[in-house]
Amino acid sequence: DTLINQIAAGEVVERPASVVKELVENALDAGAKRIDIDLEDGGIRLIRIRDDGGGIAPEELPLAVSRHATSKIASIDDLEAVATLGFRGEALPSVASVSRFRLVSRRPDADHGAELRIEGGRHGEVVPQAHPPGTTVEVRDLFFNVPARRKFLRAERTELGHIEDWLRTLALARPDVEIRVSHNGKPSRRWKGEGNLLSEVRLHEALGEEFVRNALRVDHAGAGMRLHGWIAQPAYNRASADQQYLYVNGRSVRDRNVAHAVRQAYSDVLFHGRHPAYVLFLELDPRGVDVNVHPAKHEVRFRESRLVHDFVYRTLHAALADTRA
């Protein structure tokens, strides 16, 4: 199975940032309210993620790292309406097949935890291990056994930058969760938990004061959907292709259909060709979105993409037109 997992790893795990993404998503799916991330060498040497979520029972540790074993969906019907960030059961086995991997976990009701180590896909035994309620996943020496992939890793700074970009994306979607990051033994970032609503504090930290000062707040429901968030007005003068955050049912995605609707509304009202900066959350019935499009889950497919396009376009067109009136 190791070879199959390594091949799957090629699709799920491109670099340290993709490992961080998958592990942090698992922590969130487990209900974590606080996530501690320790990195060394831009994550190439070490990624250690500890959460205070629901944990894994000792007898389930081997299952958690087996291929296509997911505790999150039980049937094909569940796949029609995925409510968790993960659902494919591929991340842990993939990561474990290309690293020195350690999983330690304790359920809140258990009196001790357990540990499972895997090196390059070879499983050890489950052994008792002290751990607070929650889970720690440790990934050392990413791609140590796949030199062809290791070669594509970039300098520490670059890999760290990708991790920070991803965490910023996540921090905007989950203001209720505290995230602490340390790099090479030094604290490097802390997102304080702030409750369920994205505050201007977090928005400011993520996109800067300029953005907050010029952003228009949007919140509109209709046609079974809701679009809320912020879009920058033309006074915000920054090349902003990197400041376009779109979340569909809480999941950060790239979607050309929605991106097009935003840009179209923007240029129709403001006669402005520039790419607007935005943080937008689109919510709709999960049965209206297919999230199982790509292993890395960066994309979604809308059942009724025309309807979604129109809704986003109309909502933003009206909001932006208001500011002109």
Pick one of Mg ion, ligand ADP, none as the site partner of residue 6 (Cβ within 5 to 8 A by kind): none
277 close to 236: Cβ distance less than 8 angstroms: yes
Residue nearer to Mg ion on the CB measure, 297 or 309: 297
Can you tell me which of 5, 18, 70, 243 binds ligand ADP, judged by CB under 6 A? Answer: 70
Please pick, from the candidates 36, 38, 41, 51, the single residue that binds ligand ADP as defined by CB under 6 A.
51
The one of ligand ADP, Mg ion, none whose footprint includes residue 52, by CB under 5 to 8 A per kind, is: none
* Minimum distance from residue 87 beta carbon to ligand ADP (Å): 5
Q: Which of 43, 53, 55, 86 binds Mg ion (CB under 5 A)?
A: 86
Q: Out of 16, 42, 43, 53, name the contact with ligand ADP by CB under 6 A.
A: 53
DSSP 42: G
- 175 binding Mg ion? (CB under 5 A): no
18 binds, among Mg ion, ligand ADP, none (CB under 5 to 8 A by kind): none
Amino acid making up residue 325: A
Contacting Mg ion within 129-158 (CB under 5 A)? none
Q: In angstroms, what is the minimal distance from the CB of 155 to ligand ADP? A: 28
Query: Which residues, numbered 28-47, are part of the site for Mg ion (CB under 5 A)?
Result: none
Place of tokens 């001790």: 112
- CB atoms near residue 33 (< 10 Å): 15
- Cα gap 205→160, rounded to integer Å: 18
CA distance 280 to 100: 38
Question: Which one among 16, 43, 58, 89 touches ligand ADP, defined by CB under 6 A?
Answer: 89
- C-alpha to C-alpha distance for 244 and 316, rounded to whole angstroms: 15
d(CA 126, CA 104): 9
Torsion of CA 288, 26, 72, 279, to 10 degrees: -10
Q: Which of residues 26 and 135 has its CB atom nearest to Mg ion in the complex?
A: 26
- Cα gap 178→85, rounded to integer Å: 18
- Best CA proximity match to 105, nearest among 63, 58, 154: 58
Instruction: Indicate the residue among 73 and 312 with the shorter CB distance to Mg ion.
Output: 73
Q: What SS3 state is found at 298?
A: coil
Quick one: what does residue 53 bind among Mg ion, ligand ADP, none, with the CB cut-off 5 to 8 Å set by partner type?
ligand ADP
Please give the residue ranges that form the binding site for ligand ADP (CB under 6 A).
22, 26-27, 30, 51, 53-56, 64, 70-72, 86-92, 135
